[in-house]
Chains A and B, each alone.
Chain A
Amino acid sequence: MSNTQFTITDQQRDYSQFGLSENPFPYSPVPDDDPAVYCGQEHATREISETVSTVLSTGKSKHLVITAKYGNGKSHTLKYTRSLIRDRSDVIVGYVAQPGEGFHDIYQEFIYDLGFDRIQRLAYEYLAVLSCEVTEFEPTGPDEMQRLIDDGEILLSELIPEAIRRLNEITAFADFARAMLHMVYEDTNLYAWQWLTADGIRYEQRKQMEIHSALDDDTSSVRAFTALKNLVVELGYTGIFLFIDEFESISRLSPKDKQTTLNSIRHLMDQNSHGLCVLFGCAPEVWQDVMSEYHAFSERIGKEVALKPLSDENLRYLVRSYLELARESGEETLAPFGEDGLNVVLQYSQGNIRQALSICSQTLDQAVEQDLDVIDAAFVEAQISNRS
């Protein structure tokens, strides 16, 4: 498609001259949900590993805040950490992109991140555990439990009253218990999901499930989160990992709302001395304010780890790792980037990962357009001046 001003095409650029199948750098340097590359920040990885490992090995709650300036990899670090533990079968992991207006929003995002299917599977999983105790069947997981119900091996009307009674004891939140168990009923599971996600449902829908309260504020959301954690611990999970990114956005809130949000998170931590790990990503200046103004909250977070800008060595490792993702030969080289070209990238980006990736992505495309062999200092400088 073209006219005198635009040339729009879906034809792909050919990167084969560099032995690459594609441009491996992101055009818009936002972290992938499952980042494939992570480099540098040994001190940070040490702290994160230590925090996560402590929770996994002892079950005791531990929390960490990761600070860094914009573009220095907070989200990337959180998402990379999440990708490392998400596939473990003994934990529940949820990512919250930003805290919103308060803990109610954090809870909501967390449940959305887990998703309908995961929550429904937890309900079946709970019934499976209960069935092992109160029936002759020993379902090994949610799928088998669902099959036993579908096939009429286990009687729902016998199991559910007992399930409600026990889940009520475990969670100390009768409405939460009912909502969880309604996840197995096709007629009401969407209402139950709406309630669990704190989306708000009509009174008649709540009445149908015999749920008396609305999940509409920070206090009830903390209660529901704790109930969920108690449920997963009862099911044999080590605990819940909650990743809260862009925590700095709480600075937008009014002092009262900020206080309420931090208090709610503090209450959550206080109510869950076991089985909870919260990892925050936060801009350092906001975290400094929190540290100085809200001791009660900040004291509950064990440690802060600051991400550093990329060093020369880090940048080379980063670029090599990205290139490897698309390298057809499997070689580990920096080509087509020249050493001096990367020096300019580092100089211009000042070690900011987002900027460095953005420059690399752009210069690689331009190098293909101009049929270059090597991306050297002069070429990078020219591209940077074109950008500005």
Chain B
Amino acid sequence: MLYRQRTLETPHGDLETPVLFPVSNVGKRSSDNTPAYADQIPDLRTAMVNARAIRQREPQWERLLDGSSLRQEMGVPDDTIVFADSGGFDFHTETLDTTPEKTLETQIRIDADVFGTVDLPLSREDRQAKNQRRINESIQYALAASDAHEGDSLLFASVHGHDPETVRNSIRYLDRHGDFDGFALGSLVPIRTDYRKTTKLILAARLATDKPLHVYGLGGLVYQPLLLYLGVDTFDSSSFIRSAGNRNYLIPGFGGREMHRIEGLEYLPCPCPVCGPRTTEAVRADRNLLVQHNLWALTIELRRFRYMIAAGEDIESYLELRFQGNDVTHRAYRMAKQQVRRLA
């Protein structure tokens, strides 16, 4: 197992890893979809924001320029640790409309703690030549950000590649030629159902450097234990919002279940502060409650894993049990285990 715990120093305080950065859609048109959670979930003083989206939402950006703080805009405590990515995921379909310097300026302005460099995600459908070009451009943007970056915020170089060789090579190249506090692996969401490939890429990244590794977009219920097992330090997820949008109720160990399929049950099985005191009907009727519960589900997943480590339990046995209910994820875990053991 490659699981590890670390403490990263950030301008807004120490960050104990492994940790989840819940995606906040501040700046997006659907900004209000992210309910306040920082006060309710004490160990979730983190947020992942999209620097490009914030800058592009003019009234909000004006307010930020006028002195308002991002944390106020988000309604989160001042000590919330914010990871601001470049909004690279949008560059799947949209043209790149920023520069490393402009993104850095935005990240500084919103007082983020971790900066993700400008990146161009890959697509399976694109020709290899195009993907190679995008990989290369992302690397050059990262190096430009490294040159321009000053201050205490952590700079994570965004890295892409759909083969382990490229991921390893890119990280080591960046490590050698730039000054980065960590690396963030992207382009995995489109291939997330290919577990073998995804875990191989994560492993390649994890073993290419000892610096902190973030994985973009895979911090949902299914992947989270795998990421922890593979030693990923930080990860983000918007699955709690998206699932709630589809009226899906997340249950650690089981994944998502559509609320309309849950019948004849007065209370839900989750003991979280959202579900514990409320009836099934109350949770079903309020989308915000569903989002909050889903975020609790992600947190509980992480807490469980941490507990198993702290209690000295055999993690591999725990994960065997954990993935037992689903053939696909069970196979995925077994593949990850094989890959990790081959390295041991």
Contact = CB atoms under 8 A, between A and B. Distances in A.
A153 interface: yes
A152 B174 contact: yes
A372 interface: no
Interface stretch (B131-139, B291-299, B304-312, B313-321): B131-139
Interface in A88-106: none
Contacts of B139: 155, 157
A152 B176 contact: yes
Interface stretch (A184-192, A237-245, A353-361): A184-192
Chain A CB within 10 A, most for which of B133, B163, B170: B163
A184 B164 CA distance: 11
B344 interface: no
Given A157-B136, A158-B136, A151 B164 contact: no
Interface residues of A, number: 20
B173 A155 contact: yes
Contacts of A186: 163-165
Contacts of A149: 165, 169
B165 A157 contact: no
B23 to A, nearest CB: 28
Chain B CB within 10 A, most for which of A158, A161, A187, A209: A187
Nearest to A151: B172
B136 A155 contact: yes
A161 B128 CA distance: 9
Interface residues of B, number: 25
Interface string B162-187: 01111011111111100000000000
B171 A152 contact: yes
Interface string A152-173: 1111111011001000000000
Chain A CB within 10 A, most for which of B132, B176, B197: B132
B129 interface: yes
Interface in A275-301: none
A339 B168 CA distance: 69
A292 B297 CA distance: 83
Chain A CB within 10 A, most for which of B135, B166, B169, B173: B169
Contacts of A153: 173, 176
A216 interface: no
A210 B173 contact: no
Interface string A172-197: 00000000000011111000000000
Contacts of A188: 163
Chain B CB within 10 A, most for which of A149, A152, A184: A152
B163 A185 contact: yes
Given A151-B172, A152-B173, A158-B136, A210 B163 contact: no
B133 A155 contact: no
B342 interface: no
Interface in A123-169: 149-158, 160-161, 164
A152 B170 contact: yes
Contacts of A154: 169, 173
Interface in B112-144: 127-129, 132-133, 135-136, 139
Contact of A161 (B132, B168, B171): B132
A157 B136 CA distance: 6
B322 interface: no
Contact of B166 (A156, A161, A164, A210): A156
A301 to B, nearest CB: 42
B200 interface: yes
Chain B CB within 10 A, most for which of A152, A157, A164: A157
Contact of A152 (B127, B132, B172): B172
A145 to B, nearest CB: 12
A152 B165 CA distance: 10
A216 to B, nearest CB: 23
B200 A187 contact: yes
Contacts of B136: 155, 157-158
B169 A152 contact: yes
A152 B166 CA distance: 10
A308 B170 CA distance: 61
Contacts of A210: 127-128
Contacts of B128: 209-210
B59 to A, nearest CB: 39
A366 B165 CA distance: 60
Contacts of B176: 151-153
A156 B128 CA distance: 13
Contact of B169 (A156, A164, A209): A156
A156 B170 contact: yes
Contacts of B169: 149-150, 152, 154-157
B203 to A, nearest CB: 11
Given A160-B132, A161-B132, A161-B133, A155 B170 contact: yes
B130 to A, nearest CB: 10
The 7 closest A-B pairs by CB, nearest first: A152-B172, A152-B173, A157-B135, A187-B163, A157-B136, A156-B169, A185-B165
Given A153-B173, A156-B170, 11 more contacts: A150-B169, A150-B172, A152-B169, A152-B176, A155-B170, A157-B170, A161-B129, A184-B165, A185-B163, A186-B165, A210-B128
Interface of B: 127-129, 132-133, 135-136, 139, 161, 163-166, 168-176, 197, 200, 208
9 contacts: A149-B165, A151-B172, A152-B171, A152-B173, A153-B176, A156-B169, A187-B164, A187-B197, A210-B127
